[in-house]
Amino acid sequence: MVRDTFEAQREWMVQSQLQARGIRDPKVLEAFRRVPRHAFVDKSLRRYAYQDHPLGIGGGQTISQPYIVALMSEALSLEGCERVLEVGTGSGYQTAILAELTQEVYTVERIPSLRRQAEKTLRELGYENIRFVDGDGSEGYAPGAPYEGIVVTAAARRLPDALDSQLAEGGRLIIPIGGALMQTLYRFEKTRGALKRKDLGGVRFVPLVDT
């Protein structure tokens, strides 16, 4: 019975929050129907899991609003065979969406306790195409580079040079850039070694902390 309730809530989320706001990629929509967002939040918050807002996950971090996760995922334009880097594992929800959409995901998290919890949840859900890394996400993860897609789930003051260098030719990089209160979400695409930027709108993320 509980499972059916959550399935109905996921479908409501997809229709009212994603499709209604212009998310069209069928692979992205199907990933959101499959991934149980309630599994990535504390049990006391599960009744809010499919509502249209972020939720706290501890350590001053949040699980992002579903629409923002969908917008960032769709902007990567994944075909299914790419290697993707995620900067900021957090709850692991965005990680799961990426794992549904592509072949291999590297995810970097600076807070060990969050990484451990996210890894536990994702392993329990059966994901085997994710590699977990403890570290400073602003430095990316050079051993896995180059990446056809990079998504940053925290706000940077500027695009980190390491992420530019680790993005493959033709790859897409999604990152919020700005100050503490408001940022702009950008999509960068690398063409002939140069980055072409597209504005995806205003967002609000926790800051990207570098060392």
What is the signed CA dihedral for 157, 175, 55, 47, rounded to 10 degrees? 170
Count of C-beta atoms within a 10 Å radius of residue 191: 10
Q: Which of 64, 73, 91, 138 is catalytic?
A: 64
Contacts of 8 (CB under 8 A, 6+ apart): none
In the three-class reduction of DSSP (H, G, I as helix; E, B as strand; rest coil), residue 40 is classed as helix
Residue 109: beta bridge partners?
134
Element (H, E) at 70: helix 66-75
17, amino acid identity: Q
Contact 132, 141 (CB under 8 A): no
64 a catalytic residue: yes
Which of 67, 54, 63 has its CA nearest to residue 23?
Answer: 67
Element (H, E) at 2: helix 2-13
Angstrom CA distances, 200 to 143, 183, 184, stand at 29, 11, 7
Structure token digits, residue 95: 């990680």
Residues with catalytic roles: 64
